[in-house]
A and B are shown apart, each in its own frame.
Chain A
Amino acid sequence: MKTSEASRHINGTFVAGREGDREVLGGYASDLLSDVMANSREGDLWVTLQKHVNIIAVAQLNGLSGIVLVNGRTPEPDAVARAEEAGLPLISTKLQAFDVIGILYSLGIRGRRQI
């Protein structure tokens, strides 16, 4: 499934990086960026409420397939600019994290962190 299709299912809107649409290989949810750096995997769609510009760097670093901002959060302007520059899908949805993750899970997207 592509990021854009996942976005439709969670009533998401692209804030940036629409042309960077890519395959979603899994999912990760966390608001601690250090944890995301350590534990997310390439191709994960990341669900968070953090909207600081650092989220873009973290997503790029781990090759994530996109970032979903929950609770209707709009990212900082510098985060939008960086996502646009990087061609990284940045999606905002009014849904809360619990519901977003439930929907993505029902679509077959899974967490892949190895314990």
Chain B
Amino acid sequence: MYMVDTHVHTCLSPCAELDMHPAALVDAAVRVGLDSVAVCDHNSAENVGAVQRAARAAGLAVIPGMEITSAEEVHILGLLPDLEAALALQSRIYRALPGHNDEEAFGVQVVTNEFAEVLGFNDHLLSGSTTLTVDEVVGAIHDLGGMAVASHVDREGFGIIGQLGFIPPGLPLDAIEISRHTTMPRARALYAPRGEYPILCASDAHRPEELGGAATFLLMEEATLEELRCAFAGKNGRTILGGGRPMEDLALHILDIAQNSIEAGADTIRIEISEAPGEDRLEIKVSDNGKGMDRETLARAADPFFTTRGTRKVGLGLSLMAAAAQATGGRLSITSSRGEGTTVIAEFKLGHIDRAPIGDLETTLMVLLAGHPGIHILFRHRIGKRSFDLDSADLISSGIDVSTPSGLAALRRMLRKGESDLIERRQAGGASGSH
């Protein structure tokens, strides 16, 4: 399973911060637990190589890319198979990009190496529009073996729907991207009600702290363009599991905790989300039968600068969840004993104005059930007296084999139905009745 941010800028983009140099970008990406990023500066790929070199030692996969501005002022991401293709696309774009940068007006466009040393300043008007139409931009990307993604379709400015009213029928986009302002379920309903386009969540980060603000979860074997292509198409067992905002959505905090459980050797994880509107209370409980923690580790578990994970330098997971709970006047508690397992309970005031959104539980469950088929997951989402229950041990007897594309599709349908039925009842005020 890969957590990917398919849209990040570097200090080459005039609107990005200077401290978004390749090494800082890589550090920030690793810190938030990303497995891969696509570097997409405006109309240029000059810093892609430096990010790739900076990322090598960190084990972060870098997909070369570019965010191209069409003549209609639509932003289209080109994701490319390798640096050579990205530079070839850059030549094509430079030929169609009039003007020179004015650093006072638009900002500096810093070309840098992996050691944060400035190599020079790009003189093209990278903040400008090319003379290429959206069709020509998509064509140019495809000619070089790349994939074309409509950037932030939920934004009016430079989003394809804002600029052109609707996505031109027949435009061969490979995916559409949403920003952190739109949730996955809402995006599906608004932009791809019949599954017309794969949907990616990406941060569009211009500053290091924005990295991973939104991310997509993909089931694939490695972070390459070919694997992404298969995942977008749902081919060869690859698929997009979901997406969201890892720093905000409670659903993704839950996923993070469950992944800790898997790292701790658990083979059974119980997830219970209980919304009690009458008591203005939300409780999230994740318990596992992993190796547990000793007293000393337990005492430090919610410390943001502590982690046992090799892949992550800062344990954002539990500390973020604790902060989210405390912001509503609630709290996070952890009980654990060596050899027996760990239980994390987060309590929130349900109606508190600062209560983080639950987010897309379908993503959480798709990642856990499809990404870790050997783990026994017991899930319960309760609203009032009703609940949506799922036991991964029952999937096979329900005819769902997650190792097959049809099984993944069936699982997705089941989760979507279970959650939407439950939420409809919540919206109808139907917290009464029994399960």
Contacts and interface: CB of A to CB of B under 8 A. Distances in A.
Interface stretch (B26-34, B160-168, B260-268): B160-168
Residue in B134, B161, B164 with the greatest tally of chain A CB atoms within 10 Å: B164
A34 B134 contact: no
A33 B133 contact: no
Interface residues of B, number: 12
Nearest to B167: A54
A57 B134 CA distance: 17
A29 to B, nearest CB: 15
A36 B162 CA distance: 10
A37 B162 CA distance: 10
A52 B161 contact: no
Interface in B61-95: 72-73
Contacts, number: 37
Given A52-B168, A53-B168, A34 B163 contact: yes
Interface string A32-65: 1111110000000000001011100110000000
A27 to B, nearest CB: 19
A57 B133 contact: no
A54 B156 CA distance: 16
Interface string B172-191: 00000000000000000000
Contact of B72 (A35, A52, A57, A58): A52
Main SS class of interface, B: loop
A59 B156 CA distance: 19
A33 B72 CA distance: 10
B33 to A, nearest CB: 35
A32 to B, nearest CB: 6
Interface of B: 72-73, 133-134, 156, 161-166, 168
20 contacts: A31-B73, A31-B163, A32-B163, A33-B163, A33-B164, A33-B165, A33-B166, A34-B162, A34-B163, A34-B165, A35-B156, A35-B162, A36-B165, A50-B164, A52-B72, A52-B164, A52-B168, A54-B164, A54-B166, A57-B165
